[in-house]
Amino acid sequence: MTDANATPTTGTVRLHRVLRAPPERVYRAFLDAGAMVKWLPPNGFTATMHEFDPRVGGGYHMSFTNFGTGSSHAFRVRYVELVPNERIRQTDTFDNPGLPGEMQVTVTLDKSVAGTELRIEQAGIPAAIPVDFCYMGWQESLELLAKLVEPEIPDGA
């Protein structure tokens, strides 16, 4: 027997990646609106930044649009903690009332021999979103992040 008042279970994803770039560059990619619209949307999506305020208590309002179908979904992020080049903690909420709740995201950057050890935890993913899809989307986004932050391009090139 199921309880009609039971809250659907939420999901969590944890990701780990080493990037051949200094923590400063990786951190900047998470707090630069132009960079975020380039790397954050997973494959098959474009992004639009509607509002951006990169400070604790600030955040951003962004939407992802499915390039194939044209459908989109928007979400809001509020920065809870910003430790330059080390950690970002934020809360994410979807504009769609069918995707209730507040997700907690923690991004940790540690300097490593290769560049930056990146860890991401996203908790509180709404039950309507399959965790595997969320995990795959993050993997695609992190591939794009690597393509943005890893190249060493000299000034004037």
Identify the pLDDT of residue 10.
87
What is the model's pTM?
A: 0.90
Residues 6+ apart with CB under 8 A from 8: 126, 127, 128
Residue 5 belongs to some domain of the structure: no
Token couple for 136: 């795959």
Token couple for 18: 């080493």
pLDDT band at 9; cut points 50, 70, 90: confident
Residues 6+ apart with CB under 8 A from 97: none
pLDDT digits (tens, 9 = 90+) for 118-152: 999 999 999 999 999 999 999 999 999 999 999 98
Residues 6+ apart with CB under 8 A from 132: none
CB atoms under 10 Å from CB of 137, counted, come to 19
Identify the pLDDT of residue 2.
44
Number of domains in the chain: 1
Residue 157 belongs to some domain of the structure: no
What are the φ/ψ torsions at residue 24 (nearest 5 degrees)?
-60, -40
Residues 44, 66 contacting (CB under 8 angstroms)? yes
Range of the domain at 31: 11-149
pLDDT digits (tens, 9 = 90+) for 37-86: 999 999 999 999 999 999 999 999 999 999 999 999 999 999 999 999 99
Query: For residue 110, what is the domain's CATH number?
Result: 3.30.530.20
Token couple for 91: 């809360």
- Cα separation, 114 vs 18, whole angstroms: 7
Residues 98, 79 contacting (CB under 8 angstroms)? no
Residues 118, 17 contacting (CB under 8 angstroms)? yes
Identify the pLDDT of residue 12.
96
